[in-house]
Amino acid sequence: MRYVVYVIIIGAIIGVTFGLFASWGWNGLVPDLILLMVIALSLVFEGLDYLFVSLLGGFWLDIVYGLPIGSFTIPLLFCGAVSSLLLRKWLFSEVKWYHFVGAIIAATILLKFWIWLYSNMLFAFHWYAVPVSGGQIMRNLIWAIIANVVLAYPVYVIVEMFARSQLRWQKNKIKL
């Protein structure tokens, strides 16, 4: 059931991002909501939910952005795994919201840098037609970070509420 909810949420996030920010977006002031969701899930949930969301969400984003598969998927998988291992298991026993914000800033930089590197690498091998411009990425990077940081906390809270509702649901599961 949880995974069906994730699929619906990913579809809705992509719909909202492309419906709202394609006409409203200014200088790349567009949040990476899937990235925020992946990192929040990696910090809140014990399981591998973040891997499912990063794989499906990343794959979907690659296609709707017209980018080669792996442009979003690989950094999302990597960021989810790293934030889960470093923040939740190894470095901090208790994750505060500002750890989440720090992870968001690092992940945003990594995501944009990877898109530039990956598209240029595939372009060099004639696997992709137009490489993403580094200048364009740098120009919009600060706005992307601002958009992600502003929405980091609300996304974290929503994911935490979802996790709590899941726990409650598990506890009160009707046994037939």
Partner 1 sequence: MIRFIYSRTFLAFAIALVIVLLGLVMQVKGWLQPIEYALLQAPRPVSNIVRSVAEPVRVFFTTIGSLRSVVRENATLQAQVVSLQQQQVQLDKLRTDNDLLREELKFKGQSKLTLESCSVLSIDPQELSDTMVLSCGKEQGIQEGQAVLSQGYLVAKVTYVGSYTSTALLISNAQSSIDARLSKNNTEGVVKGSFGSGMVFDLVSQNADVNAGDLVVTAGINSRIPKDILIGQVGNVLSNPNDLFKKMSVTSPVRQRAVEFVYVVKQ
User: Which residue in the set 3, 27, 142, 169 belongs to the binding site for partner 1 (CB under 8 A)?
Assistant: 27
Q: Among 74, 86, 71, 91, which Cα is nearest to 131's? A: 71
Q: DSSP code of 173? A: P
Q: Cα(109)–Cα(14) distance, rounded to whole angstroms?
A: 21
Minimum distance of partner 1 from residue 174's CB (angstroms): 29
33 neighbors 151 (Cβ within 8 angstroms): yes
- Residue 134 or 164: the one with the smaller Cβ distance to partner 1 is 134
CB nearer partner 1, residue 97 or residue 146: 146
d(CA 78, CA 18): 24
Provide DSSP, 112-143.
HHHHHHHHHHHHHTTSSSSPPPHHHHHHHHHH
Q: Which is nearer to partner 1, 97 or 123 (CB)?
A: 123
Q: Under the criterion CB under 8 A, does residue 4 sit at the interface with partner 1?
A: no
Candidates 36, 41, 53, 77; binder of partner 1 (CB under 8 A) is: 77
- Give the footprint of partner 1 on this chain (CB under 8 A): 11-12, 14-25, 27-28, 30, 32, 48, 51, 54-55, 58-60, 63-70, 73-74, 77, 81, 84-85, 112, 115, 119, 127-133, 135-137, 139-140, 144
